Amino acid sequence: MFKLFLYVKIIDGVETMLIVAFSIVIIFIDQLSKFLIRSNFHQSHQLSIIGDYLYLTFVKNRGAAFGILKGQRSFFILITVFLLIFIIYIYQNELKQTAAVKAAIGFLLGGSIANLIDRLLLHYVTDFIAFNLFDFYQLPVVNIADIFIFFGVLILIYNLLFSADRGV
């Protein structure tokens, strides 16, 4: 019995380390991409990637999407720390431990920490990926961390709503 318990704990530890490693890779890619944008673009400079539909730009985002709650840095730092604690709690105590959920947790942790680093060090989040849909709707300018957060949330919602083994 003890050997089985020890084996389960080792596997759990390895899986947790993989999530942490995955998060670190996300943070590295995000921070590197933001550094490259800040180093090579002046604010609001645009570089078309796919016509008018996808382009790179440099935006200092001091709020949320579309600049909502602009200048509320302390609020966003506090919310991010709270959400990081909540994500870790949910992972350890509530969610079914599927591969998709583990990936989502890695996405959320990596993306949240990457944006938190910007807020703490720069007092803004560097956004640089802009999408235009059908020439009439421009999505908020985002970054790599935002994309991982978005997909992490989508995976968790899907898991909670449609998984045979409901997440919680």
- Between the two ends of the chain, the Cα-to-Cα distance in Å is 28
Question: Residue 127 catalytic?
Answer: yes
Question: Residue 12 catalytic?
Answer: no
- The residue annotated as part of the active site, out of 12, 127, 135, 165, is 127
Secondary structure of residue 68 in the 3-state scheme:
coil
In this structure, are residues 57 and 141 in contact, taking their beta carbons and an 8 Å threshold? yes
Distance CA 164, CA 162 (A): 6
- The residue annotated as part of the active site, out of 30, 118, 146, 165, is 146
Give Cβ neighbours of residue 40 (< 8 Å, ≥ 6 apart): none
Catalytic residues: 127, 146
